[in-house]
Amino acid sequence: KTQHILVWRNPTAVTMATEVVLKVDMMCEGCVGAVKRVLGKMEGVESFDVSLEEQKVTVRGAVTPEAVLEKVAKTGKKTELWSS
């Protein structure tokens, strides 16, 4: 007698969420809005926080640091990985 077992996996559940923290040179709320716009359209982003006061952008999701850095840099703002 043969048993068949069907295993279904949710592809998003298998992917580990990554947290990427960037230092972004933002001067005003317009800069913050530009960063939020590009992150809102980026595939794999689950959530993000943008702090004008700290010049800090934290992104969570199925993303790579390189991809997030490249995307945010397209806003024209000086962007680098946050060093701890």
Matching residue, tokens 């995307």: 71
Q: How far apart are CA 20 and CA 14, in angstroms?
A: 19
Q: What is the pLDDT of residue 17?
A: 79
* φ/ψ (deg, to 5) at 3: -105, 135
Nearest-5° Cα angle at 25, 31 to 36: 35
Q: How far apart are CA 79 and CA 56, in angstroms?
A: 10
One pLDDT digit (tens) per residue for the chain, 84 residues: 555 555 555 555 545 678 999 999 999 999 999 999 999 999 999 999 999 999 999 999 999 999 999 999 999 999 999 986
CA 26 to chain centre: 17
Task: Report the predicted TM-score, pTM, of the whole model to 2 decimal places.
Answer: 0.79
Structure tokens at 53: 């006061």
